[in-house]
């Protein structure tokens, strides 16, 4: 079992610095507390070195796994203690104007909290000592990374598959063959096949290789793999193109020289399978002389950046099998012939094919497994739908695991986090990026905001074919994505192995035993009987950092028991929602109530001083509490139809505002305040016939979204004053009716934009869903 410690290594690495900040601040630490904090710093630095070594272990022993679990819990608890400290003992700053009497009163009133802090520090110190002693006792630090290749390559069926048995291959084979042999320059051409694990890249490449090999005087086919033993790869290649060459002779430089010399005057065809890095390609490519003889190279990879580095625009992306081809392949593998599925197994076979999601690897693996089993419904359900406990599917799991193992630590964490979502759930990128920031998964990068970095992480996962783009924004960027069922199943296994997340389904009454300390909780399966299911015991999840609910709201734990919660995501939950105790969640950074039945927010919501995102769109909330202006860290306020309070200019960190009807005369003071804010994105739902921006208004806004819910008369001014939005880069206007007023407003906006904002992208969306740019 490979340890999923990506989040852990990042946290343990960051904690000493966080503790250092605590020491530098002028808090009135208890006697001895500064020594404890400094002790934590030193020990955590030492532990981090061992954690990083453990990160590279693909097959750790039981002792290592147990130690990592203890370090994980300890790191979480120390960070929780640090984050809560300032809230529980607000000692203030000790400047010259501090009143001695006020400080004395503050000390007196916080005695209970200080007693609790002293007890917690004592317990944490004891745990740090224990964990440190275990590391020394078991010599965990110096272990060498282990890389155990499977005894048998699970892709053998791709290497030796009979062309007559392949399904859905003719079209892709002919298209790629055309790319390889197509007319053009006689120079060297590289064609790359890219796609997710198990999508048939190797099979397709071999079929093309067989089809086009005539006319080439020199041919070779090699596989690279994650080990990237370049000398071995080049040696294998040399032994195939030169019968006199010894595959294991010489170092990399010598092998490159010998290959270049041999290929210099030949028209060669090479297949380089399973590339994993641009760096490896940059070495291998030096073997290939550009001799203008029409030589061709076919590569395969799971990573789009690797494909583009070698082939440029000559990249073919594999597709999943369609319904008919998937059914054909499955019935051949499971029953021996097309149409061979017995009537009593048709419905369960359909469920199995849906779970396979058109992925050839899954269809072949599961179908082949079922071929040798009893043809009963129970057996097909047990083996064909319950993959996580099925040891007979290890070959398939190993292929998927390679993609996970190749990820850097930060991306492993982010990928595992996706296990909180139900299968086939469409995940909005904006929602996910803000959640990752709130959970602390994103590393700071100079010149880039945390949310932009989070989006870059998502794009990298897309580029590695681990997640699949789904819906697109009007500007052509990704709006949402989905996880393939096979990937989803794999990351659930990994998450549960490492206690990364606790998943509770509707049929379960409570958190399953044996989960350890629950840090992330996901309540799944929204259905009618959810309402009758008991509420989750808050005491069992009191250390949870994030809670996501996809079921009835009645399952949500009591909020006043969740003191270290950072993320509360209830989007789309049905049923009455109790927000009692919400204001006590002092560490809460992300609160999503979108699409719930909530009708009002607590008056004390301003106490959530760490809150960064608040989403109450599509709710019954009509007015935001005045105290909301105290949320000085709030960056994204998605207010829906709720009326904004005055004083929002105090919200210094606000970057995104989504609201409605701020153009009403009663909201004149709100408009005035918006002029003085540093908003970067403004979304307005307009029931009024026009929106006007005045001089010096919103000079920082880069993205403007306007949605008119009613038709516009031809005399309406529509949208005016956009010339005053000096920072505007992107504008979307949506009209509910495609009438004369909409046409006039569109023309006016485009004319102004062309003159004043020539680089601004203007997108007009009409009710008929047609988009004009």
Instruction: Read off the pLDDT of residues 140-153 as tens digits, 9 standing for 90 and up.
Output: 554 444 444 444 55
Mean pLDDT for 314-331 is 94
Residue pLDDT, tens place only, 512-560: 766 678 999 999 875 544 455 667 877 788 999 999 999 888 888 899 8
Helix axes 429-439, 409-417, angle to 10 degrees: 120
Would you say the C-alpha torsion 279, 283, 288, 292 has a positive or negative sign? positive
- Please answer whether residues 735 and 705 qualify as being in contact, where contact means their C-beta atoms are separated by less than 8 angstroms: no
**What's the pLDDT at 142?**
46
pLDDT band for 156, please (50, 70, 90 cuts): low
Return the ∠ at Cα 722 (arms to 721 and 725), rounded to 5°: 115
pLDDT band for 21, please (50, 70, 90 cuts): confident
Return the ∠ at Cα 351 (arms to 345 and 354), rounded to 5°: 135
Cα–Cα distance measured from residue 64 to residue 139, given in angstroms and rounded to the nearest whole number: 9
- Bridge pairing between strands 681-686 and 771-772: unpaired
DSSP bridge pairs for 614? 591, 637
Query: Is residue 716's pLDDT more than 80?
Result: no
Residue extents of the structural domains in the chain: 1-138, 155-317, 323-397, 407-486
Cα–Cα distance measured from residue 214 to residue 226, given in angstroms and rounded to the nearest whole number: 31
Residue pLDDT, tens place only, 49-83: 777 777 666 667 778 878 888 888 888 888 888 88
For residues 674 and 343, the model is more confident at 343
Tokens representing 155?
């892709």
**CA of residue 411 relative to chain centroid, distance:** 8
Query: Is residue 247's pLDDT more than 80?
Result: no
Residue pLDDT, tens place only, 258-273: 999 999 999 999 999 9
Mean pLDDT for 739-747 is 81
Query: Is residue 358's pLDDT more than 90?
Result: yes
Cα–Cα distance measured from residue 507 to residue 445, given in angstroms and rounded to the nearest whole number: 43
Tokens representing 562?
């969740």
pLDDT band for 90, please (50, 70, 90 cuts): low
> Which of the residue ranges 7-21, 167-181, 428-442, 489-503 would you say has the lowest mean pLDDT?
7-21
Most confident of 595-599, 658-662, 713-717, 734-738: 595-599
**What's the pLDDT at 672?**
73
**What's the pLDDT at 199?**
94
Tokens 């109450």 appear where?
Answer: 616
Mean pLDDT for 607-627 is 95
Output the CA–CA distances (angstroms, integers) from residue 499 to 68, 485, 599, in the order listed. Answer: 11, 21, 35
**What's the pLDDT at 390?**
82
Torsion of CA 628, 632, 636, 639, to 10 degrees: 10
Task: List the end-to-end C-alpha distance of the chain, in Å, as a whole number.
Answer: 51
Q: Average pLDDT, whole number, for the chain? A: 83
Cα–Cα distance measured from residue 666 to residue 236, given in angstroms and rounded to the nearest whole number: 78
Could you tell me what percent of the chain has a pLDDT over 90? 46
Cα–Cα distance measured from residue 706 to residue 695, given in angstroms and rounded to the nearest whole number: 19
Torsion of CA 526, 529, 530, 536, to 10 degrees: -140
Rg from Cα positions in the chain: 30
By C-alpha distance, which of 712, 714, 722 is closest to 751? Answer: 722
Query: Is residue 174's pLDDT more than 50?
Result: yes
Query: Is residue 497's pLDDT more than 90?
Result: no
Tokens representing 136?
């020394």
Cα–Cα distance measured from residue 671 to residue 644, given in angstroms and rounded to the nearest whole number: 10
Cα–Cα distance measured from residue 474 to residue 380, given in angstroms and rounded to the nearest whole number: 43
For residues 336 and 25, the model is more confident at 336
Output the CA–CA distances (angstroms, integers) from residue 224 to 190, 203, 628, in the order listed. Answer: 16, 15, 57
> Which of the residue ranges 9-13, 73-77, 729-733, 758-762 would you say has the lowest mean pLDDT?
9-13
Query: Is residue 658's pLDDT more than 70?
Result: yes
Mean pLDDT for 180-192 is 85
pLDDT band for 91, please (50, 70, 90 cuts): very low
Domain 155-317 has CATH 3.30.70.1150: no
Query: Is residue 400's pLDDT more than 70?
Result: yes
For residues 122 and 667, the model is more confident at 122
pLDDT band for 41, please (50, 70, 90 cuts): confident
**What's the pLDDT at 692?**
79
**What's the pLDDT at 649?**
87
**What's the pLDDT at 339?**
77
Beta strands in 541-664 (DSSP E): 546-549, 567-569, 590-592, 613-615, 636-638, 656-660
pLDDT band for 108, please (50, 70, 90 cuts): very low
Mean pLDDT for 390-412 is 89
By C-alpha distance, which of 525, 577, 575 is closest to 551? Answer: 525
DSSP-derived secondary structure letter, 210: H
Architecture of the domain whose range is 407-486: Orthogonal Bundle (1.10)
Tokens representing 21?
């900040």
Mean pLDDT for 570-595 is 93
464-496 in b/e form (b: 16+ CB < 10 A) is bbbbeeeeeebeeebebbbbbbbbbbbbbbbbb
Residues 6 or more apart in contact with residue 298 via CB below 8 angstroms: 176, 180, 190, 191, 192, 193, 205, 208, 209, 269, 270, 271, 272
Output the CA–CA distances (angstroms, integers) from residue 53 to 8, 60, 139, 149, 413, in the order listed. Answer: 12, 11, 12, 19, 17
H/E stretch holding 306 reads helix 304-311
**What's the pLDDT at 665?**
47
Tokens representing 418?
């996706």
Query: Is residue 746's pLDDT more than 50?
Result: yes
Residues 6 or more apart in contact with residue 444 via CB below 8 angstroms: 450, 453
């Amino acid at each position: 079992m490979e340890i999923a410690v990506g989040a852990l290594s990042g946290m343990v690495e960051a904690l000493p610095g966080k503790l250092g900040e605590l020491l530098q601040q002028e808090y009135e630490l208890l006697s001895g507390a500064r020594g404890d904090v400094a002790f934590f710093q030193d020990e955590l630095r030492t532990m981090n070195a061992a954690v990083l070594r453990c990160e590279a272990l693909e097959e750790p022993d039981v002792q290592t796994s147990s130690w990592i679990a203890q370090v994980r819990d300890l790191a979480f608890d120390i960070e929780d203690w640090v984050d809560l400290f300032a809230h529980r003992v607000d000692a203030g700053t000790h400047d010259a104007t501090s009143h001695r009497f006020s400080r004395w009163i503050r000390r007196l009133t916080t005695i209970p909290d200080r007693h609790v802090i002293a007890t917690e520090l004592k317990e944490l110190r004891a745990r740090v000592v224990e964990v440190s002693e275990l590391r020394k006792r078991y010599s965990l630090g110096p272990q060498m990374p282990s890389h155990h290749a499977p005894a048998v390559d699970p892709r053998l069926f791709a290497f030796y598959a009979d062309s007559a048995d392949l399904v859905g291959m003719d079209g892709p084979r002919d298209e790629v063959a055309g790319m390889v042999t197509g007319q053009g320059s006689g120079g060297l051409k590289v064609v790359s096949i890219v796609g997710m694990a198990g999508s048939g890249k190797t099979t397709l490449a071999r079929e093309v290789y067989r089809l086009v090999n005539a006319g080439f005087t020199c041919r070779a086919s090699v596989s690279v793999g994650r080990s990237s033993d370049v000398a071995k790869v080049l040696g294998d290649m040399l032994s195939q193109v030169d019968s006199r060459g010894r595959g294991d002779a010489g170092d990399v430089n010598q092998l490159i020289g010998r290959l270049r010399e041999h290929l210099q005057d030949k028209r060669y065809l090479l297949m380089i399978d399973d590339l994993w890095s641009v760096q490896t390609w940059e070495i291998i490519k030096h073997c290939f002389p550009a001799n203008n003889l029409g030589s061709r190279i076919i590569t395969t990879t799971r990573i789009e950046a690797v494909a583009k580095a070698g082939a440029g625009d000559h990249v073919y992306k594999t597709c999943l099998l369609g319904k008919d081809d998937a059914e054909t392949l499955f019935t051949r593998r499971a029953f021996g012939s097309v149409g061979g599925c017995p009537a009593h197994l048709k419905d369960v076979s359909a469920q199995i094919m849906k779970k396979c999601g058109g992925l050839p690897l899954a269809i072949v693996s599961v179908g082949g497994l079922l071929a040798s089993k009893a043809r009963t419904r129970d057996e097909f359900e047990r083996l064909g739908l319950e993959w996580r406990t099925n040891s007979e599917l290890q070959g398939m799991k190993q292929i998927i695991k390679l993609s996970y193992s190749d990820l850097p630590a930060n991306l492993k964490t982010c990928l595992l986090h996706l296990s909180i979502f139900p299968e086939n759930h469409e995940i909005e990128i904006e929602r996910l990026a803000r959640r990752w920031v709130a959970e602390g998964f994103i590393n700071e990068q100079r010149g880039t905001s945390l949310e932009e970095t989070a989006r870059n992480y998502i794009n990298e996962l897309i580029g590695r074919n681990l997640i699949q783009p789904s819906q697109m924004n009007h500007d052509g960027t990704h709006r949402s994505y989905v996880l393939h069922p096979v990937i989803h199943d794999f990351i659930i296994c990994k998450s549960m192995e490492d206690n990364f997340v606790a998943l509770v389904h509707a049929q379960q009454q409570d958190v399953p035993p044996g989960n350890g300390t629950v840090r992330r909780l996901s309540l799944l399966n929204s259905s009618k009987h959810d309402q009758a299911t008991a509420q989750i015991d808050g005491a069992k999840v009191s250390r949870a950092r994030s809670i996501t609910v996809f079921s009835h709201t009645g399952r949500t734990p009591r909020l006043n028991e969740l003191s270290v919660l950072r993320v509360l995501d209830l989007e789309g939950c049905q049923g009455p929602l109790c927000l009692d105790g919400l204001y006590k969640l002092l560490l809460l950074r992300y609160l999503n109530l979108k699409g719930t039945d909530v009708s009002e927010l607590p008056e004390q919501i301003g106490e959530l001083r760490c809150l960064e995102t608040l989403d109450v769109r599509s709710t019954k909330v009509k007015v935001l509490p005045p105290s909301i202006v105290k949320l000085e860290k709030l960056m994204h306020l998605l207010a829906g139809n709720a009326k904004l309070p005055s004083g929002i200019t105090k919200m210094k960190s606000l970057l995104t505002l989504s609201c409605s009807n701020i153009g009403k005369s009663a909201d004149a003071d709100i408009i005035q305040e918006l002029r003085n804010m540093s908003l970067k994105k403004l979304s307005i739902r307009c029931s009024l016939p026009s929106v006007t921006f005045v001089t010096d208004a919103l000079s920082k806004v880069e993205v403007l979204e306007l949605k008119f819910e009613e038709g516009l008369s031809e005399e309406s001014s529509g949208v005016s004053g956009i010339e005053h939005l000096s920072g505007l880069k992107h504008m979307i206007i949506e009209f509910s009716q495609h009438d004369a007023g909409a046409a006039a407003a569109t023309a006016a906006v485009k004319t102004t934009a062309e003159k004043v904002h020539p680089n601004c992208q203007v997108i007009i969306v009409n009710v008929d869903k047609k988009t004009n740019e």
